[in-house]
Structure 1
Amino acid sequence: MHNETRFGLGRKNWLFAGADCGGERAAAMNTLLETAKLNGVNPQEWLADVLDRIGTGHPINRIDELLPWNWATPPE
Protein backbone atom coordinates (compact mmCIF):
# COMPACT_ATOMS: atom_id res chain seq x y z
CA MET A 1 0.00 0.00 0.00
CA HIS A 2 1.37 3.39 -0.94
CA ASN A 3 1.71 6.15 1.64
CA GLU A 4 -0.77 8.33 -0.26
CA THR A 5 -3.40 5.62 0.01
CA ARG A 6 -2.77 4.96 3.68
CA PHE A 7 -2.96 8.63 4.61
CA GLY A 8 -5.97 9.08 2.33
CA LEU A 9 -7.82 6.35 4.22
CA GLY A 10 -6.70 7.75 7.56
CA ARG A 11 -8.09 11.21 6.91
CA LYS A 12 -11.68 10.11 7.36
CA ASN A 13 -10.86 8.07 10.45
CA TRP A 14 -9.06 11.01 12.06
CA LEU A 15 -12.21 13.08 11.91
CA PHE A 16 -13.31 11.04 14.90
CA ALA A 17 -10.28 11.74 17.09
CA GLY A 18 -12.68 13.18 19.69
CA ALA A 19 -11.34 16.72 19.83
CA ASP A 20 -8.73 18.97 18.27
CA CYS A 21 -6.19 17.88 20.86
CA GLY A 22 -6.81 14.23 19.93
CA GLY A 23 -6.09 14.98 16.28
CA GLU A 24 -2.96 16.92 17.22
CA ARG A 25 -1.77 14.01 19.38
CA ALA A 26 -2.37 11.57 16.50
CA ALA A 27 -0.41 13.83 14.15
CA ALA A 28 2.49 14.05 16.61
CA MET A 29 2.60 10.26 17.03
CA ASN A 30 2.51 9.70 13.27
CA THR A 31 5.35 12.19 12.85
CA LEU A 32 7.49 10.39 15.44
CA LEU A 33 6.82 6.95 13.97
CA GLU A 34 7.48 8.06 10.38
CA THR A 35 10.69 9.82 11.50
CA ALA A 36 11.86 6.55 13.05
CA LYS A 37 11.16 4.72 9.77
CA LEU A 38 13.05 7.36 7.77
CA ASN A 39 16.05 6.81 10.05
CA GLY A 40 16.01 3.05 9.53
CA VAL A 41 14.66 2.34 13.01
CA ASN A 42 11.89 -0.15 13.80
CA PRO A 43 9.18 2.22 15.13
CA GLN A 44 7.62 -0.33 17.49
CA GLU A 45 10.97 -1.29 19.02
CA TRP A 46 12.03 2.36 19.29
CA LEU A 47 8.79 3.53 20.93
CA ALA A 48 8.73 0.63 23.41
CA ASP A 49 12.34 1.31 24.42
CA VAL A 50 11.86 5.08 24.71
CA LEU A 51 8.74 4.71 26.86
CA ASP A 52 10.54 2.18 29.05
CA ARG A 53 13.56 4.46 29.48
CA ILE A 54 11.37 7.45 30.30
CA GLY A 55 9.44 5.36 32.83
CA THR A 56 12.62 4.19 34.54
CA GLY A 57 14.13 7.64 34.99
CA HIS A 58 16.17 8.47 31.87
CA PRO A 59 18.08 11.69 32.68
CA ILE A 60 16.42 14.77 31.19
CA ASN A 61 19.80 16.22 30.20
CA ARG A 62 20.31 13.18 27.90
CA ILE A 63 16.89 13.25 26.21
CA ASP A 64 18.53 13.77 22.79
CA GLU A 65 19.75 10.14 23.00
CA LEU A 66 16.13 9.03 22.59
CA LEU A 67 15.52 10.82 19.28
CA PRO A 68 15.18 8.35 16.39
CA TRP A 69 18.33 9.58 14.60
CA ASN A 70 20.44 9.16 17.78
CA TRP A 71 18.74 6.09 19.22
CA ALA A 72 20.54 2.80 19.61
CA THR A 73 19.12 -0.30 21.20
CA PRO A 74 20.50 -0.80 24.69
CA PRO A 75 23.00 -3.63 25.20
CA GLU A 76 21.34 -6.86 26.30
Structure 2
Amino acid sequence: FSDTQAGARASALLYSLVETAKANGFEPYLWLRHVLRALPTATTVEHFEALLPWNLKAEQLITA
Protein backbone atom coordinates (compact mmCIF):
# COMPACT_ATOMS: atom_id res chain seq x y z
CA PHE A 1 0.00 0.00 0.00
CA SER A 2 2.84 2.38 0.79
CA ASP A 3 6.06 2.69 -1.18
CA THR A 4 8.16 4.12 1.66
CA GLN A 5 8.35 4.03 5.44
CA ALA A 6 7.38 7.70 5.53
CA GLY A 7 4.33 6.95 3.40
CA ALA A 8 3.37 4.07 5.67
CA ARG A 9 3.68 6.31 8.74
CA ALA A 10 1.56 9.00 7.09
CA SER A 11 -1.11 6.43 6.18
CA ALA A 12 -1.08 5.00 9.70
CA LEU A 13 -1.48 8.49 11.17
CA LEU A 14 -4.45 9.27 8.94
CA TYR A 15 -6.09 5.90 9.64
CA SER A 16 -5.61 6.49 13.37
CA LEU A 17 -7.30 9.90 13.16
CA VAL A 18 -10.22 8.46 11.18
CA GLU A 19 -10.75 5.57 13.59
CA THR A 20 -10.45 7.86 16.64
CA ALA A 21 -13.12 10.15 15.20
CA LYS A 22 -15.40 7.17 14.55
CA ALA A 23 -14.79 5.74 18.03
CA ASN A 24 -15.96 9.06 19.48
CA GLY A 25 -19.15 9.18 17.42
CA PHE A 26 -18.06 11.59 14.69
CA GLU A 27 -18.27 11.22 10.93
CA PRO A 28 -14.52 11.32 10.15
CA TYR A 29 -14.70 13.73 7.21
CA LEU A 30 -16.68 16.32 9.20
CA TRP A 31 -14.36 16.06 12.21
CA LEU A 32 -11.18 16.26 10.09
CA ARG A 33 -12.57 19.23 8.16
CA HIS A 34 -13.36 20.96 11.48
CA VAL A 35 -9.87 20.30 12.82
CA LEU A 36 -8.10 21.42 9.65
CA ARG A 37 -10.11 24.65 9.58
CA ALA A 38 -9.48 25.37 13.27
CA LEU A 39 -5.76 24.51 13.42
CA PRO A 40 -4.47 27.77 11.87
CA THR A 41 -5.96 29.78 14.75
CA ALA A 42 -5.02 27.36 17.54
CA THR A 43 -2.24 28.92 19.59
CA THR A 44 -2.30 27.23 22.99
CA VAL A 45 -2.32 23.71 24.35
CA GLU A 46 -5.92 24.33 25.41
CA HIS A 47 -6.90 25.22 21.83
CA PHE A 48 -5.30 22.03 20.50
CA GLU A 49 -6.84 19.86 23.22
CA ALA A 50 -10.27 21.32 22.48
CA LEU A 51 -10.01 19.86 18.96
CA LEU A 52 -9.64 16.28 20.19
CA PRO A 53 -12.79 14.30 19.41
CA TRP A 54 -13.39 13.31 23.04
CA ASN A 55 -13.44 17.01 23.97
CA LEU A 56 -15.98 18.03 21.29
CA LYS A 57 -19.71 17.86 20.94
CA ALA A 58 -21.25 17.41 17.50
CA GLU A 59 -22.85 20.86 17.62
CA GLN A 60 -19.40 22.44 18.02
CA LEU A 61 -18.18 21.29 14.61
CA ILE A 62 -17.60 24.01 12.04
CA THR A 63 -20.11 23.08 9.37
CA ALA A 64 -20.11 26.08 7.05
TM-score scaled by structure 2? Answer: 0.79
Aligned residues: 60
Report the aligned-residue RMSD: 1.8
Instruction: Note if 1:18 corresponds to 2:33.
Output: no
Counterparts of 2:34 and 2:28, CA distance in 1: 10
Give the residue type in structure 1 aligned to 2:15: N
Q: Is the 8 A contact 2:31 2:61 kept in 1?
A: no
Q: Percent identity?
A: 32
TM-score scaled by structure 1? Answer: 0.68
Instruction: Note if 1:54 corresponds to 2:39.
Output: yes
Q: Secondary structure, in 3 states, of the residue corresponding to 1:46?
A: helix
Task: Evaluate the alpha carbon distance shift between residue 75 and residue 23 of structure 1 in structure 2; reply closer, same or farther with a 3 A threshold.
Answer: closer
Q: Shift of residue 34 of structure 1?
A: 0.5
The gaps in structure 1 that reach 5 residues or longer are 1-13
Q: Deviations over 1:22-51 (max 9, x none)?
A: 101101110110011011111100000100
Task: Evaluate the alpha carbon distance shift between residue 54 and residue 75 of structure 1 in structure 2; reply closer, same or farther with a 3 A threshold.
Answer: closer
Q: Secondary structure, in 3 states, of the residue corresponding to 2:54?
A: coil
